[in-house]
Structure 1
Amino acid sequence: MLPKTAVTPDTHTVPPATFSHGVRKGNILQVAGQVGFLPAEDGKPPTPAGPTLREQTLQALANVAAVLEAGGGSWEDAVMIRVYLTDTGHFAEFNAIWNDYFADLREAPAARTTVYVGLPAGLLVEIDALAVLG
């Protein structure tokens, strides 16, 4: 039986409930939903990167990337990415940010699902990922 390992980058705080920022089992790495919180500072509550979709999206992507890296992977290993937006009006802007961010991965990009949800006040986007490591 393959061991299951919790993955928490140094930049992340302890989750507010019993879950892991990432879990690796064999060559599978699941990254939990990451919002646009800035890297953790000792003793301070997490704060969003800013009020805009762009600021929060770029930070959420950086947070997912940090979990991928801590688990031994990268965006190249991501096969599925789920995006949770709070406003349907943000879809076009989000896609523009996404396309710029992943410009180098256009040949074989990960699959993506985007849904609309409610998130805590002030948060506009959450992103999770599933990676298969080589």
Structure 2
Amino acid sequence: MTTKSTKAETPKSFSDVLKSIQTAASMNPVMKPQIAQFWDAQEKMLDEAELYTRHWFERRHEAIRTALDAARAATAVNQSDPARATQTMLDWQRRSMERMVEDAQEWLDTMSRCASYVTRTEAEAVGETIEEAAELAKKSTKSAKSEPV
């Protein structure tokens, strides 16, 4: 019994793949502003994410350091004063909650800036696309009106 090959045809070489991508990209030069806008926005969002995570880790390190300090202080307090030990832990928990609020606020600010980058650069890309299309149309009408030599 023979089996049929259901394997899809694959390009003969990597250069065939590159040629097809190159052809698709060169057929629409009007897409250049959108492509540039996309990668510019990506870079800005990565910068924002890096900044947010750096601050987040700084707050986590502070949480660990202050937790250790609070644990030491709570256990070093006179055993006959449990209220003081409890207050030490409550103070740490309060500051820990403040750090979590800072996380949330910075995250919302980060997302807001990222959305702003995308919408602002998208608007710029649309304007550039319109200009590119107008230039392309102008060039194509000039060549259509030319007379043979």
TM category, shorter: under 0.3
Q: So what's the TM-score if we normalise by structure 2?
A: 0.20
Higher helix share: 2
| Higher radius of gyration, 1 or 2 | 2
Higher strand share: 1
